[in-house]
Amino acid sequence: MKLEQKVALVTGGASGIGLAIARRFLVEGAKVMLADINAAAAQMYAEELGDQCAYVEADLSGEAGAEAMVRASVDTFDRLDIAINAAGIGTLAPIVSQTVEQWDSILDLNLRGVFLSTKHEARQMVAQGDGGAIVNIASINAQQASEGMSAYCCSKAGVEMFTKVAAMELAEQGIRVTAIGPGIIDTPLAAPLIAFDTIREDFLENIPLGRMGTADDVANAALFLVSDEATWVTGTTLFVDGAELTKRYPALLHRFAEIQEGGSPN
């Protein structure tokens, strides 16, 4: 029960990594607020997970959504000790044909959403006066480039640097800020990629540990980072990737072109 009497807010909490983290935190004794733009899914999982879990609809592309989810957490559970900023989306588009709307949608949620979430989470923790822990979900693409993923890579690189700055600024208030950089994780976000056998094989060939990551792998890392076992850990990104970052990222645009030319999904 590493998180007994702690209150955690998890953005993107109704799917994939966010949901796995919420489940793990509940097992460890925390009270958890699921924040997600998909209110129906968040409600369903909150009801499934029991009376120590609640939900709030949150659109994190704007400041009002970030402020409201923190307020809901405090109104429901009286305080906020832990925040996991996992909400994010991806896209695949060559730079020469990528629209401004595509670019903005990725940056608005993946980077601005992390900034706004951290801003209001940290304000609450500062007001409480006894510190806290914030974990931002970045990606190996914060450091590893991938063709067709310019917006996503830039957004996650921004999350890694933002985490460093936030850790510097908030250390005096006892608030630790870290990030997790997952490799390819078998979640709904990655499903459109790994549904293709050839692309799945490309990923596996570049993971020294020889398997896809799971959302539980990331949840285990998140638990460590917010626990008392990590009280001197802040400002860093923990890469959870089976050593994928040591090799290369699949050439997705070329692979999809080959798939389309062959007329086969696999």
Phi, psi dihedrals of residue 206, rounded to the nearest 5°: -110, 20
Query: In angstroms, rounded to a whole number, what is the distance separating the alpha carbons of residues 182 and 207?
Result: 12
From the list 45, 55, 152, 249, the catalytic residue is 152
Query: In angstroms, rounded to a whole number, what is the distance separating the alpha carbons of residues 87 and 121?
Result: 14
DSSP conformational letter for 2: T
Structure tokens at 263: 């007329």
**Catalytic-residue membership of 249:** no
Handedness of CA 236, 242, 243, 248 (dihedral sign): negative
List, in order, residues 6 or more apart from 257 with CB less than 8 Å away: none
Match 């029960």 to its residue by tokens: 1
Beta-bridge partners for 31: 7
Query: In angstroms, rounded to a whole number, what is the distance separating the alpha carbons of residues 191 and 2?
Result: 32
As annotated, the active-site residues are 152
